[in-house]
Amino acid sequence: MASPLPASVLDLAPVVPVVVIEDVSDAVPLARALVAGGLPAIEVTLRTPAALDAIREIAAGAPDAVVGAGTVITPDQVTASVAAGARFLVSPGWTDVLLDAMRASGAPFLPGVSTTSEVVALLERGVREMKFFPAEAAGGTAYLKSLNGPLPQARFCPTGGIGPATAPDYLALPNVACVGGSWMLPADAVAARDWTRVEELARAAADLRSSGAQV
């Protein structure tokens, strides 16, 4: 049986692994390694032909994982992702059409934003939890810190260009609940199916919030 969701996906762990799966057979052992390391929320991006099957496999074979779909950009992808077992949805940006589809799906969702106007527009529509993307290119911690003054009700999961050296600075911000990244899944470890190394890197990522500096 799948583990229950908390009030917010953002509160599951300080880091959400952003996963690109090429080989479906890697999906379950990869997910189990991440969960064992303390990162239960797993965003599988819809960037490969294997993505939906990978979500399906993780949902069935790694019940302690909370698997979601990332790079969701169309209503059809919303429908297919939820049907495959995705328990949350993440988009790099949003439109009214996409937002309506994500809301209608019943799954928690994180629409992507990179400007103040997009944040205000989502708040106007009752959405308070968002993905900030591409985080580093869009202004990083300085931008998010500036947003907190006028828009403290918005909570973010910054993703894009974040690594273990910069993640603690993001996590120290009051409007950042978690960060997304893929550094705990180095290509050579995944290629070698070195799930022990993935678990170790995931455990280090799960401990990052305690090392955050006050910004």
- Active site residues per annotation: 43, 131
C-alpha–C-alpha distance, residues 54 and 2, integer Å: 16
Amino acid present at 106: G
Q: Is the dihedral of CA 129, 106, 55, 4 positive or negative?
A: positive
DSSP 3-state of 71: coil
Rounded to the nearest 10°, the torsion over CA 160, 32, 209, 81 is: 40
DSSP 3-state of 67: strand
Burial class (CB in 10 A: 0-12, 13-18, 19+), 54: buried
